[in-house]
Structure 1
Amino acid sequence: MNTKKKKALLIIEQCNPDWSSVPLEGYNYYNGISQLCNVTLVTHIRNKEALQKRPEHQDIIYIEESQFSKVYHKIIATLTSIGRKNWPLYIALSYPIYEEFNRQVYQQFKDKVIGKEYDVVHMITPMMPRYPSKMVKVCQDTPFILGPVNGGVPFPPGFQKVARQEFAYFNFLRAVGRNLIPGYVETYKTANKILAGSTYTLNLIQDLFKIPEERLQLFYENGISKSFFQEKTINQNNSVTNLLFVGRLVPYKGADMVIDAVSNLSDDIKNKIKFTIVGDGSEKVNLESQVENLGLEKIVSFTGWIKQSETVNYYKEADIFCFPSIREFGGAVVLEAMACGLPCIVANNGGIGEYVTPETGFSIEPKSREYLVETLTEKITTLIENKALLEEMSAKCYERVQEFEWNIKAKKIVDIYEQSIM
């Protein structure tokens, strides 16, 4: 068996240990893979300050940003932030900034790839299935891995009001981009392996590009750090059950539905619970008014924005995680909750519905807002009245989430490299 470390070129435009969401995911993939392979990382100059704080990381190439991109980014950031953030429009208008990065990566590394200096080329971010990679043009003799890509999940039919609030009518730009962006179709049709972050995205890619099954693989986007794991012991005699929501307070995340579900609980159950909402966002004032109007001030509390590193304290104190987000791609908070032994009640639309199995919680079909609220109420009641089930699900959560630990995911990625190189 060849035990020599493989040489990998990782293209991770968003790779930053000090940020959240995709930049942090990009960093976690890089950090794990770099312990198993000889890695050259190519990333955006914006990540340099954070990465240089970590002297263990070597062989990093930073792609500079032109003055035009700096000015252009400020313009579109301002334009798309009037009122609520218009993410579909922001992503579409950001393409020229990404293309500048994409072009420079190609110019700097094409000869090295043609010269077979790397065993594999892997583009990890952007994770949205919107952008191409020029590097695929010179990867005829070097495996090119793409992903995990995730996204494209539509809003459920029963939530069109929320879809309008989130500017879903701009999503037609996805199809426009697929048809107009140079190299987009070629990237997907040529890649040796495409990792899809959810079953929905996998099926979408397969339908759009007619890609053979052997070149597509389900590979969930998110992971969890080992330091986050907190095995839970259920106190059967505890008179109060703590419910928890963690996330941005925006319409599609569904904190308002949990509040309504709590309001619908029987008085006996209400006397046995506390519900904590961790996070901030445009809906915070509306949610606080909702709590006041429903007379739930003694049950529901808001923490405001909390550092990601400090959220573990709230998971440790909780018993049940309620997160009925109706359109979630990654859903890292669900994995965080599971790592702390919390049974999860989620909406089944996107990746989070696949994280949560019948043994670890409840994944509710988002047929309508009314159905989701009604079922939330029912499932919360079930777990509060059946402490044995709560304890069993808690143990299964902790067991299930082990496979999402970042080092385990990195090992799986390297296994994919090995299979592609053979």
Structure 2
Amino acid sequence: MKNENIKILMVMEQCNPEWASVPLLSYNFYHEIRKRVQVTLVTHERNQSALEKVRGNHTIDYIRESSLLKRYYRLIKIVTHRGAVNWPLQHALSYPIYGEFNHRVSQKYGPLIRAQKYDLVHVMTPILPRYPVKLIDHCETTPFLLGPVNGGVPFPPGFDTVAKKEFAGFNFLRMFTRLIPGYTKTYQTADKVLSGSLYTQNMLKNLFDMDDSRIGLFHENGILASFTETPKKHTSKTMNLLFVGRLVAYKGADMAIKALSTLPKTVQKRLTFTIVGDGPEKKSLERLAGKAGVGNIVHFTGWIPQKETLIHYKKSDVFCFPSVREFGGAVALEAMGCGLPCIVPDYAGLGEYVTEETGIKIKPKSRDHLIQKFAEKIQFLLENPDIREKMSARAIDRVRTYEWGNKAHDMVCLYKKMIRA
């Protein structure tokens, strides 16, 4: 039931139901929270065309961008989108775009916050914990909530080649974050900061000497109720493996293909492996599958809409995802919601979402170690359908708390607690 008495100012620079990743995640949060409390959403004008289709009678304010910065962003894309995207450099060069948004939001809504027009201010995006929020200067008597923020996870040792492909050498640019005016103040004075991972939580606690009362764990990812299935029954002697994600080096699709190639031919004949996604590594992965002798069981769909991705989740038996640097790992939640046991590296977000009861986690000691262990665990699950069934049921039970409606309920409970305090 909606509580009209609670007025939330929600700032989401990225919020878009038609895009993937952070913009879609933010929209799903917003969509469910606005059912429960009165929300004024403040977002970037780039999201307007998509949000107007689903706005209804809700209040959304679109912050305009100067024509100069629009031209600047086009230049950034030319510099950073050459083959694989240089994300560290793009994040660094894009700061002026966020900086303008941040300044204009503060100018417009600062006086309204000081006039106590809102019961709480919640700033959720950007997700990366590198950005100041000028609105905090106006929240002297209004609770200020930041997050969940997530990021900064390093590559595990032994994956230097992958790190180089992902331009990890540019990560030194993060240190300049601390020099941005207002950055330190944002984290030192926020009433509450939510972290999307244990790694980021510990990083922020150490960096800003935050006590437990001001920082908490709240995974940013969730799933739609449509992704929640009934546990799978396994009567076939074959097993369908699935990978869903961008085809970039750190996602590790090549390691899954290599793992399949090491299995006996008698085992390979009982497997199929579907790779859903697109990216700069796609052609090399197709060549690898052929060269490794598993081209007949590895199938590439390319990019497909999320509704079609759901069909592949439902047709599959096991989610095979060797990503070595996943801040969150929403695809693992989607797979678990569809009753798929997950085989993943025990690192960062994937290691927090997947438990020993819902899948198999492997320490990423090295590339060769992951390949060997993925092969062993694929064969193990193929030969033990009873264990797959138990994992399937427990996976579905685990992700129910991650349904967007349940996450929104928990967030609103936090709002109420902060407002009372």
Which TM class, normalised by the smaller chain length? over 0.9
Q: Is this contact kept in 2: 1:153–1:349, CA < 8 A?
A: no
The aligned amino acid for 1:209 is F
Q: In structure 2, how many angstroms separate the alpha carbons of the residues matched to 1:282 and 1:291?
A: 16
Identity over the aligned pairs, expressed in percent?
Answer: 53
What's the counterpart of residue 188 of structure 1?
Answer: 187
Please state whether the residue corresponding to 1:213 is helix, strand or coil: coil
Kindly report which structure 2 residues correspond to 1:200-211, keeping only aligned pairs within 5 A, or say none: 200-211=199-210
> Partner of 1:386 in structure 2?
384
* One-letter amino acid matched to 2:356: P
Instruction: Name 1:298's counterpart in structure 2.
Output: 296
What aligned pairs does 1:2-151 form with structure 2 within 5 A after superposition?
Answer: 5-151=5-151
SS in 2 for 1:157: coil
CA gap 1:394/1:173 in 2 versus in 1, 3 angstroms: same
- Selected match of 1:249 from 226, 247, 250: 247
> Which residue of 2 is the match for residue 272 of structure 1?
270
Using a 3 Å threshold, how does the CA distance of structure 1 residues 57 and 319 change in structure 2: closer, same or farther? farther
Q: TM-score, normalised by structure 1?
A: 0.97
* Pair 362,107 (structure 1): closer, same or farther in 2 beyond 3 Å: same
Identify the residue that residue 232 of structure 2 maps to in structure 1: 233
1:383 CA displacement: 0.7
Alpha-carbon distance in 1 for matches of 2:136, 2:365: 41
Q: 8 Å contact 2:14–2:26 — kept in the other structure?
A: yes
- Give distance in 2, aligned partners of 1:251 and 1:313: 25
Q: Is the 8 A contact 1:189 1:209 kept in 2?
A: yes
CA distance in 1, matches of 2:168, 2:55: 42
- Matched residues in 2 for 1:5 and 1:168: separation? 47
Q: Which moved more, 1:30-39 or 1:55-64?
A: 55-64
Length, aligned pairs only: 419
Give 2:366's match in structure 1, choosing from 365, 368, 373.
Answer: 368
2:197 corresponding residue in structure 1: 198
State the distance in 1 between where 2:129 and 2:8 align: 22
Query: Aligned partners of 1:325 and 1:175: how far apart in 2?
Result: 25
Q: Is the 8 A contact 1:149 1:195 kept in 2?
A: yes
Contact 2:84 2:248 in 1 (8 A): no
Matches of 1:348 and 1:78, distance apart in 2: 35
**Distance in 1 of aligned mates of 2:206 and 2:227:** 37
Which sits farther off after the overlay, 7-16 or 295-304? 295-304
Cα offsets for 1:298-324 (capped at 9, x unmatched): 211111111122100001110000011
Partner of 1:163: 163
What's the secondary structure of 1:171's corresponding residue? helix
- Counterpart secondary structure, 1:172: helix
Per-residue Cα deviation, 1:142-164 (whole angstroms, up to 9, x for no partner): 11000000000000111011101
Partner amino acid for 2:212?
E
Give the aligned residue type for 2:272. K
- Please identify, of 147-156 and 301-310, the stretch whose mean Cα deviation from structure 2 is larger: 301-310
Q: Deviations over 1:319-350 (max 9, x none)?
A: 00001100011211111101100000111222
List per-residue Cα deviations over 1:179-225 (Å, max 9, x = no partner). Answer: x1110000011111111000001001111111111111100010001
Find the residue that maps to 1:142 and give its secondary structure.
coil
Query: Is residue 275–residue 298 contact of structure 2 (8 Å, CA) maintained in 1?
Result: yes
Report whether the alignment pairs 1:353 with 2:351. yes
Cα offsets for 1:80-120 (capped at 9, x unmatched): 11232100000000000000000000000001101111110
Task: Find the counterpart in structure 1 of residue 212 from structure 2.
Answer: 213
Q: Distance in 1 between matches of 2:64 and 2:136?
A: 21
**Is this contact kept in 1: 2:3–2:37, CA < 8 A?**
no
Q: How far apart, in 2, do the equivalents of 1:384 and 1:411 lie?
A: 38
Q: Which residue of the other structure, out of 305, 310, 313, is the alignment partner of 2:311?
A: 313
Structure 1 residue runs of 5 or longer lacking an equivalent are none
User: Structure 2: how far apart are the matches of 1:131 and 1:223?
Assistant: 23
- Normalising by the residue count of structure 2, what TM-score does the alignment of the two structures yield? 0.98
User: What runs of 5+ residues in structure 2 fail to find an aligned partner?
Assistant: none
Matching residue's letter, 1:177: T
TM-superposed CA distance for 1:260, in Å, is 0.8
How far residue 3 of structure 1 moved from its aligned partner, in angstroms, is 6.4
- Structure-1 separation of matches of 2:358 and 2:57: 37
Alpha-carbon separation, structure 2, partners of 1:225 and 1:300: 28
Q: Distance in 2 between matches of 1:314 and 1:255?
A: 17
